[in-house]
Chain A
Amino acid sequence: MQEFITANLPYLLGGISVGGQYALIAVGYTMVYGILRLINFAHGDIFTVAGFFMVYLNATMPVAVSLPLTILLIIALGFSVERVAYKPLRNAPRMSVMISAIGVSYLLQNLMWYVTGGLAKQYPTIPWISSSITIYTATTKMVTLVTPILTIVLVALLVQLINHTKIGMAMRAVSKDFETARLMGIKIDRVISATFIIGSALAGIGSILYFSNYTAVTPTAGAMPGLKAFVAAVFGGIGSIPGAVIGAFIIGISENIIKAVGLTTFSDAFTFALLIVVLIFKPTGLFGEAVNEKV
């Protein structure tokens, strides 16, 4: 038994840590979808841009300055993406808003290509998080432990905000019924901006954790984690924050188990297969509330 643990501990740790990082991104997807019914394709790229901000800022500033500045810049980016690309399309057909999201994702990726030249950049080592420690027999980085804890704390804070603050109530109202909320005098644009700000901030934190674990930052580094996080959000029931977090952990851990078992060629394919199976039995995801048409 002891030998089994030493062999598989790294997989489990890796799974939990990547699960946490997916969770921080997935929450962004779920919140934006809950409010706007929009799959924010650009969210994965905002995650990558956060990585590059950190690389470029840290080259000239100490970590204590570059870290918060990266979060601020990412929030500004998330906010402006919403104002430029989604606000004008407030009452456009849903498909056009989707294309606008894909357009922003294209734009961010190609801008990163153009500015960085495409070569992988080494993510700066953040003093405390990236130092390595050994748990039992597996050596890994501090970030593997920090991620799950930080994720749960942040999500708990967010759930408190959603349930017990004015802006939180406004968000819940808007996600339930967009038009009526607007009629009730809720300033829609402010609520939506707040959603993007929170979503981007969490994605920024997620990217710091993610890139200190996987330190090569390339323009398309955020594409796959973004997609996995979205799958996690849908898997957990899109629109429900706890669902997104739990979905993310399940996907993170199952992905690593697949790699341990040795079927790695299909680890990504397995994630999608898992999603399709769940959707067959629970068409709106694990925790999503079944929305039935009012006839």
Chain B
Amino acid sequence: MKALKWTGGILLIIIAVALLVSSISAQSDLEGLLKRLDAQNVVDLNPKMLADRDRVLESHLDNDRDRTLRNLDRYLERHGDLLLLEGTHALELTAFRSGPIVSSVGVLLMAIGAALLATVISGKAAVRKAALYAVGIVLLYVCVYVVEQIAGTSSMLVTVLKKGAIYALLAVSMNLLNGFTGLFSLGQAGFMLIGAYTYAMFTIPVESRGQVYQYYAGGLIQFQMPVILAIILAGLVAAFFAYLIGLPVLRLKSDYLAIATLGFAEIIRAVFQYDGLGPITNGSNLLRRFTTFNSALFPFIAVGICILLIILLINSTYGRAFKAIRDDEVAAEAMGINLPQHKSMAFVISCFFAGVGGALLAMYQTTVQASAFKASMTYEILLIVVLGGMGSVSGSVIASFLFIAASEWWLRFLDAETVIGTFEVPLLRSGFRMVVFSVIVMLVVLFYQKGIMGDRELSLDMFKRNGKEKRGGRNA
């Protein structure tokens, strides 16, 4: 059996490498491909055709794949009859279009091959489990990449995936505090604001600062930071503020802590909108023109790393201390857990990831304005955490995708007056979407009190254990 695995693993890797090489070469030589299509270079005589072709090459150069494909389709559709589109050329065209998908399948096969080899080499259960999880994660990312290629990076589905991923991180970081440590904080929007502003302020290119800080003569900050550094700085600044506010506030009991953190978020918003700080925060005006991402992979990978870190924390000895504090503070303290220190640690870590989430949200929105970070944004995230299940990371992740998809995409049709035949659907007019959305929230909370996942985690061994769990009563 071992030999079979060896050969299987190596074979997969070879195929993967082949796929990768072929797809990369197919994608690189677009100009050559277009020349071969137009053998008699009819293009020189026909200016309109030349303009369309140049548009294709130009968007290919600033590697905006979405626009390149769109321009290519237009070019072929308009001038198809003048080009040689049969035989090998048709094949090359499909290779160009499906390039990224082929290369992602290659990556997947590579991962499976490596996993197979790893299990053969060490054979330990832990390694087999780790390999399984690794392949699962690679599969997830490949799926996201393929979906993005097919649906196009600016389609509704991909947009919802991007925002859903970012809200997943925000929900998990809030769950770390409310769900795992039992600290009831409503300050999430404030720390997201700090993260978003810190990121935006430091990544605006110097040449466009004059335009962005139009009332403040280009603003004080006159340098630009690399993206990753700025995101981490966003988290650190949010964590620093969290430490400061944590000192007086963390001693308070649950509801008082909630209102104190809510108050703090409102104070932050007022400070960031204050005109006096204009040269730094641009006062009430928008921050824009900072570096953003366009592929959905960026937020997914960033959020993936953060959530992995949070899961590692929750299952570490410190995570167990947080859960002890949630269950019974007095007993936790009696077992030697220093409450102020651990509470502050949980609060600072949660706000660090809220800051990082805020930075990612800024990149998703391409503009940042303090007035959007209201208490209602914190309630939204709290809603996601409770709907997903307090104390369940996978619950928060699933719930955030469902929440964003429902509120910003699926229910949009309720706003538009639609006429079926001559019958005008009565209730549908602008504003009805939010009414239906609130009713759905109420129904879910009333009938699924423990949230979708309760406090269970979605994991591979959950399916194995399900049989046993049935015997033990569903929610003990």
Q: Do chains A and B touch in the complex (CB under 8 A)?
A: yes
Residues of A within 8 A of B387 (CB): 99
Check: B441 CB closer than 8 A to any chain A CB: yes
Q: How far is the CA of A103 from the CA of B445 in the complex (A)?
A: 9
A99 and B445 in contact, given A107-B438, A114-B431, A283-B251 (Cβ under 8 angstroms) = yes
Contact of B386 among A96, A107, A293 (CB under 8 A): A96
Interface of chain A residues 195 through 220 with chain B (CB within 8 A): none
**Shortest beta-carbon distance, A219 to chain B, in Å?**
10
Q: Is the CB of B386 within 8 A of A110?
A: no
Total residue contacts A-B, CB cutoff 8 A: 125
Which residues of chain A have C-beta atoms less than 8 A from B431's C-beta? 110, 113-114, 117-118
9-residue interface stretch from B89-97, B160-168, B264-272: B264-272
**Contacting residues, chain A, for B258 (C-beta < 8 A):** 39
Q: Which of A94, A231, A275, A276 has the most CB of B within 10 A?
A: A276
- Measured in the bound complex, the distance between the Cα atoms of B255 and A37 in whole Å is 9
How far, in angstroms, from A113 to B435 measured CA to CA in the complex? 9
B390 at interface by CB-CB < 8 Å: yes
Tell me which residues across on chain A come within 8 A of B439, comparing CB atoms: 107
CB distance from B188 to the nearest CB of A (A): 14
Q: Chain A, 81-117, contact with B by CB distance < 8 Å: what is the 0/1 string?
A: 0000100110011111011101110110011011001
Any B CB within 8 A of the CB of A265: yes
Distance in Å: Cβ of B220 to nearest Cβ of chain A: 20
Contact flags A214-228 to B (C-beta < 8 A → 1, else 0): 000000000000010
Bound complex: CA A85 to CA B255 (Å): 20
When distances are taken between beta carbons in the complex, the residues of chain A under 8 Å from B267 are 269, 272-273
- A152–B354 Cα distance when bound, in Å, is 44
Residue in A118, A231, A265 whose beta carbon sits within 8 Å of that of B274 in the complex: A265
Report which of A271, A275, A284 forms a contact with B253, defined as CB distance below 8 A. A284
Residues of A contacting B152 in the complex (Cβ-Cβ under 8 angstroms): none
Q: Tell me the nearest residue of chain A to B255, going by C-beta.
A: A39
Cβ of B117 to closest chain A Cβ, rounded Å: 46
Task: Label chain A's interface by main secondary structure.
Answer: helix
- In whole Å, how far is A105's beta carbon from the nearest beta carbon of chain B? 8
CA distance A283 to B439 in the complex (A): 36
Given contacts A106-B438, A107-B442, A113-B431, contact A95 B270 (CB under 8 A): no
Q: Of A85, A98, A99, A265, which contacts B270 at CB under 8 A?
A: A265
A11 touches B (CB below 8 Å):
no
Closest partner residue, chain B, to A273 (CB atom): B267
CB–CB A102/B256 < 8 A:
no
Shortest Cβ gap from B95 to chain A (Å)? 50
Checking B264, B435, B446 against A272 with a beta-carbon cut-off of 8 angstroms, the contacting residue is B264
Whether, in the assembled complex, B155 has its beta carbon less than 8 Å from a beta carbon of chain A, the answer is: no
Q: In chain B, residues 235-284, which have Cβ atoms closer than 8 Å to a Cβ of chain A?
A: 248-249, 251-256, 258-260, 262-264, 266-267, 270-271, 273-275
Q: Does any Cβ of A come within 8 Å of B466's Cβ?
A: no
Chain A residues with CB under 8 Å of B253's CB are 283-284, 291
Q: A110-B431, A293-B330 are in contact. Are A276 and B248 (CB under 8 A)?
A: yes
A179 near B: Cβ within 8 Å?
no
Q: Is B313 in the interface zone, CB < 8 Å from A?
A: no
Q: In the complex, what's the smallest C-beta–C-beta distance from B151 to chain A, in angstroms?
A: 30
Q: Is B449 an interface residue (CB 8 A)?
A: yes
Interface of B is mostly: helix
The answer on a CB contact under 8 Å between B435 and A276 is no
A54 within 8 A of B: no
Contact with A along B439-469 (1 / 0, CB 8 A): 1011001100111000000000000000000
B434 at the interface (CB under 8 A from A): yes
Cβ contacts A272-295/B at 8 Å (1 or 0 each) = 110110011001110000010101
Task: Count contacts on B: residues with CB < 8 A to the other chain.
Answer: 47
Set B275, B375, B445: member contacting A96, Cβ < 8 A? B445
Which B residues, 417 to 437, have Cβ-Cβ distances below 8 Å to chain A? 429, 431-432, 434-435, 437
Q: Tell me if A268 counts as interface (CB < 8 A to partner B).
A: yes
Taking CB as reference atom, which chain A residue is nearest B442? A103
Taken together as a complex, chains A and B put the C-alpha atoms of A72 and B184 apart, in Å, by 35
A173 to chain B, nearest CB (A): 21
Residue of chain A at shortest CB distance from B386: A99
B178 within 8 A of A: yes
A238 within 8 A of B: yes
The verdict on A33 contacting chain B, using a C-beta distance below 8 Å, is yes
- In the bound assembly, the distance between CA atoms of A273 and B446 in angstroms comes to 35
Cross-chain contact of A103 among B329, B441, B451 (Cβ < 8 A): B441
State whether A280 touches B248 (Cβ < 8 A): yes
Q: A99-B445, A234-B259, A276-B263 are in contact. Are A295 and B386 (CB under 8 A)?
A: no
Known: A266-B270, A269-B267. A96 touches B252 (CB 8 A): no
A55 to chain B, nearest CB (A): 18
With a 10 A CB-CB cut-off, give which of A92, A117, A234 has the most chain B CB atoms: A234
Query: Which of B178, B390, B435 meets A114, CB within 8 Å?
Result: B435
Q: Which residues of B contact A103 (CB under 8 A)?
A: 383, 438, 441-442, 445
Q: Is A230 on the interface with B (CB-CB < 8 A)?
A: yes
Query: Do B435 and A111 have beta carbons less than 8 Å apart?
Result: yes
Please give me the residue from chain B that is nearest to A272 by CB atom: B263
Q: Is the CB of B442 within 8 A of A110?
A: no
B residues 29-72 near A (Cβ < 8 Å) are none
Residue of A nearest to B383 (CB): A99
What A residues does B437 contact at CB under 8 A?
Answer: 106, 110
A-B contacts besides A89-B445, A276-B260, 15 pairs, CB < 8 Å: A88-B446, A99-B441, A102-B383, A103-B383, A227-B375, A265-B273, A266-B274, A268-B266, A269-B267, A272-B263, A276-B263, A279-B256, A283-B253, A284-B253, A295-B330
Q: List 9 A-B contacts (CB under 8 A).
A: A89-B446, A93-B390, A99-B445, A103-B383, A103-B442, A106-B438, A117-B431, A265-B270, A283-B251
10 tightest Cβ-Cβ pairs between the two chains A and B = A272-B263, A107-B438, A269-B270, A110-B434, A106-B438, A114-B431, A92-B449, A103-B442, A269-B267, A99-B386
Q: Which residues of A contact B (CB under 8 A)?
A: 33, 37, 39, 41, 85, 88-89, 92-96, 98-100, 102-104, 106-107, 110-111, 113-114, 117-118, 227, 230-231, 234, 238, 265-266, 268-269, 271-273, 275-276, 279-280, 283-285, 291, 293, 295
